[in-house]
Amino acid sequence: MMKLPNSIRSAPFAISLVALLTACASAPENGDPSSSAAPADRIEFPKQELAAIKPFAEESLYQTLVADVALTRGQFKTALENYLVQARETRDAGIIRLTNSIASHQGDAGAMLESAQLWVEVEPNETDARRAALQAYAVYKRPFEALEQASWLYRNNNDQEAFLAVTAIDEGNKKALIPRLIEAYRALPLEPDQQAAAELAVAILFREVGDLDSAVATSQYFLTMAPDNQRGILLLAQLLHQQDKVTEASALLADALQRQPEDRNLRLQYARFLTLLDRPKAILQFEQLREQNTDDQQINFLLGLLYLNQGSEELATTLLQQASRDPQISADAQYHLATIAERNGDLTTALRHYQQVKFGRNYLAAASKATILLAQGYGIDYARAYLQTLRQQQPNQASELIQLESNLLVSNNQSEQAINLLSRGLRANPTDAKLLYARSMVAELQNNFALAEQDLRALLAQDADNPTALNALGYTMILHTDRSEEAYRLIKRAYLLNPGDPAIIDSMGWVLFVMGKAEEALPYLQKAMAILPDPEIAAHLGEVQWFLGERQAALQTWQRGLAQSPNHPTIKSTMQRLGVDAADFDTTRKNSKENSSADSAALIDTSQPETNQ
């Protein structure tokens, strides 16, 4: 039997027609109550004493009957339309309440607001009416009207949650409206013992606009009036953390726990902050939380991660296995169980855990890991079939999963198939930025600059200020054409948009070198290498150093790159092109060792007292 939501089913009726209709419709024709069951689509109403029937005009009675019948048949839209008309005309509290319940169930914002406003007019002292109005104004992002309802609920019912809920309304223009909302909170006619909550709301609003200093000062003032208020303590601790004052935040919580040792939320936040300061102490706090409730899987998960970080894999595994029982945490727990198993060489178990990661932040990483393990164990075709199955299961992740399959093909020297795969994806979604970028990179590997340029320009047509696309187009242009001036303009634009990206800084240095400006190029490449000591950057920096006559520096740079990737093709080809051989490296190592010994001797010498000759 179909049932209405509780919010509707529990609403009292102004008239008894629905109950009467239900009773009549349910009675079998032969009068035997056991011979027939109610139809499957009939609404079941709670048994209740019939309310006194309010005398309505005949037309109102008929329209209400139409609405009642529609409601029993699940025709909510029709029912809502008719009830709303009758709510306006009759101003009957029962009909208004029912109208608002149906409107909320249907998500009809206009009907919610109108019925709530009517309800407050008819029953201004009714708590449910005020809550309905607060909800409707929040939906319409009208914080000042919402605050009027919230303050009534706080003054009359001491409902602090409703009072503070207005601070979370996203009105869309925070910088302009929040100062006015702060003034409105502080101007409310509250009793002295309720005034503190207004300051808490103000502190929350200051944080909303990023005024952390004012938020901290207001929170501290609030806590002078309500020193043990959990929400205020947590807010101040979070604000201090945002100001990188983790030690102060931790001390605040430690002090609060001295007074409120059983407060679980305070201890949880304290334990989280300790993970940044003192992990062994954090473990003790999480263990204490776990003692209070061994089935709190969030605690088990966080404690498991801490033990994993400390190298206690056995304890971590036990806790993560327990945490994996919670559907909300399961994916993350399975991912970390997989990494433990893979690290220990148990690839079968690792694969099983990776395949259990069905959602969340580790979903794509798990899919990638599972794909690699499947390719190693069963072959590339099996791995591709797995990714194709995932695309059917998770169509919203199709672009990313196609990229994983493309990467798998490229790593197995099947770049032509990778291009075909990405092209099929783009036929289905021609403007997909991720697929366009992925195909441009594979096209570049195939020396197909025309296709790479086409895709990167398609990306820039969607977002002209995309620094990644600008840099990629400029860099590939250097590699495959003589259009260095155009490449420079593209890379310079990318650099101005994102001057801290080491890949872009490297491109900036390299294009300058290609343009014959080696001395200008050098500081860019040195900066890129300092940020990200990548073998590709090392190849470029070493070549510029070699060109400028800094041969020893160049050899050391290449050595550094080869230490990360012993057979890096760009470094190897660069050295071969410049005529550098292994003997040069041996000399560099020897000189480096001698210099190190000399430095040590110098340190010893300078530790002795100086004597006058």
Q: What is the pLDDT of residues 99-156, one digit of tens each?
A: 898 888 888 999 999 999 999 999 999 999 999 999 999 999 899 999 999 999 999 9
Residue tagged 């509780």 (tokens): 6
Q: What angle do CA 101, 102, 104 make, to 5 degrees?
A: 65
**Structural contact between residues 2 and 42, judged by C-beta atoms closer than 8 angstroms:** yes
- Check residue 496 and give its pLDDT: 97
Q: How far apart, in whole angstroms, are the C-alpha atoms of residue 350 and residue 334? A: 9
- Check residue 337 and give its pLDDT: 97
Q: What pLDDT band is residue 253 in, cutting at 50, 70 and 90?
A: very high
Asked if residue 59 has pLDDT above 90, the reply is no
- Over range 568-574, report the average pLDDT: 93
Encoded tokens for 71 = 């409601």
- Check residue 44 and give its pLDDT: 42
Q: How far apart, in whole angstroms, are the C-alpha atoms of residue 159 and residue 131? A: 10
Helix 76-90 and helix 109-122: axis angle, to 10°? 30
**Structural contact between residues 89 and 60, judged by C-beta atoms closer than 8 angstroms:** yes
Asked if residue 90 has pLDDT above 90, the reply is no
- Check residue 78 and give its pLDDT: 77
- Over range 347-372, report the average pLDDT: 96
- Check residue 88 and give its pLDDT: 87
Asked if residue 37 has pLDDT above 90, the reply is no
Chain region(s) in the chain for CATH 1.25.40.10:
1-140
Q: What pLDDT band is residue 12 in, cutting at 50, 70 and 90?
A: very low
Q: What pLDDT band is residue 34 in, cutting at 50, 70 and 90?
A: very low
Encoded tokens for 282 = 């954090």
- Over range 176-183, report the average pLDDT: 90
- Average pLDDT value over all residues in the chain: 85
Q: Of the candidates 354, 351, 353, 412, which has an alpha carbon nearest to the alpha carbon of residue 379?
A: 412
Q: How far apart, in whole angstroms, are the C-alpha atoms of residue 398 and residue 126? A: 51
Note the pLDDT tens digit of each residue in 183-236.
999 999 998 889 999 999 999 999 998 999 999 999 999 999 999 999 999 999
Q: Which one-letter DSSP state was computed for residue 328?
A: T
- Check residue 177 and give its pLDDT: 87
- Check residue 98 and give its pLDDT: 86
Q: Whole-prediction pTM value? A: 0.71
Q: Which residues contact 291 (CB under 8 A, 6 or more apart)?
A: none
Q: What is the 3-state secondary structure (H, E, C) of 115-137?
A: HHHHHHHHCCCCHHHHHHHHHHH
- Over range 424-448, report the average pLDDT: 96
Asked if residue 270 has pLDDT above 60, the reply is yes
- Which fold is adopted by the domain 1-140? 1.25.40
- Check residue 32 and give its pLDDT: 39
Q: What pLDDT band is residue 174 in, cutting at 50, 70 and 90?
A: confident
- Check residue 81 and give its pLDDT: 79
Check residues 253 and 175 and name the one with the higher pLDDT: 253
Percent of residues, the chain, with pLDDT higher than 90: 73
Q: Which residues contact 29 (CB under 8 A, 6 or more apart)?
A: 36
Asked if residue 287 has pLDDT above 80, the reply is yes
Helix 467-480 and helix 502-514: axis angle, to 10°? 30
Helix 535-547 and helix 551-564: axis angle, to 10°? 170
- Check residue 168 and give its pLDDT: 87
Check residues 195 and 67 and name the one with the higher pLDDT: 195
Percent of residues, the chain, with pLDDT higher than 70: 82
- Check residue 95 and give its pLDDT: 86
Q: How far apart, in whole angstroms, are the C-alpha atoms of residue 104 and residue 101? A: 5
Question: 10 Å Cβ neighbour count for 612?
Answer: 3
Asked if residue 602 has pLDDT above 90, the reply is no
- Check residue 50 and give its pLDDT: 37
